[in-house]
Amino acid sequence: MQQQQQSAGFGIAEAKRILGEVFAPWVLDLHLSVEGFDFEPDGTTDWQPGAILRMPFSERICRSGGVVSGQAMMAFADTAMVIANLAANRGYRQMTTVDQTTHFMRAVSSSDVLADARVVRLGRTMSFGRVTLSSAADSKPCAMVSSAFAML
């Protein structure tokens, strides 16, 4: 992913501000960070705008046995997709989740989780996306998420 700090006035600082002002306080408790954006087409036919986010490991997001809970990963994926939509729009736009389907592939233990969120289609009233969640320890995917958002 081509990581860019800023494009057309929207960048990591603006995304952090939106995270702090728009999301519910318990989402902030996940301590998510925006690692980068992909704003500009890279010349490949399968390029999609998106964002990379990180959810740091914490015992507070684990279920018994030290495994990162599915609930935390689903909230992370939803939040990452909102940030990817903001990147695709190059700024804030109100939206709401319409649908989210998560397929868990393997457990994550004692590792940060990375989200590669991509906007598959951005329309005037709807947005569709996909998120791949991976363990930061080994870069292996742990979940695939597809989602739809209504643009308000």
| Domain ranges (residues) in the chain | 6-151
Q: What are the start-end ranges of the H helices in 12-139?
A: 12-22, 25-28, 70-89
pLDDT of 42 reads 79
Q: How far apart are CA 79 and CA 67, in angstroms?
A: 20
Q: How far apart are CA 81 and CA 83, in angstroms?
A: 5
Question: What is the dotted CATH code of the domain comprising 6-151?
Answer: 3.10.129.10
Express each pLDDT in 66-117 by its tens digit: 999 999 999 999 999 999 999 999 999 999 999 999 999 999 999 999 999 9
pLDDT of 3 reads 42
Express each pLDDT in 36-63 by its tens digit: 998 778 788 888 999 999 999 999 999 9
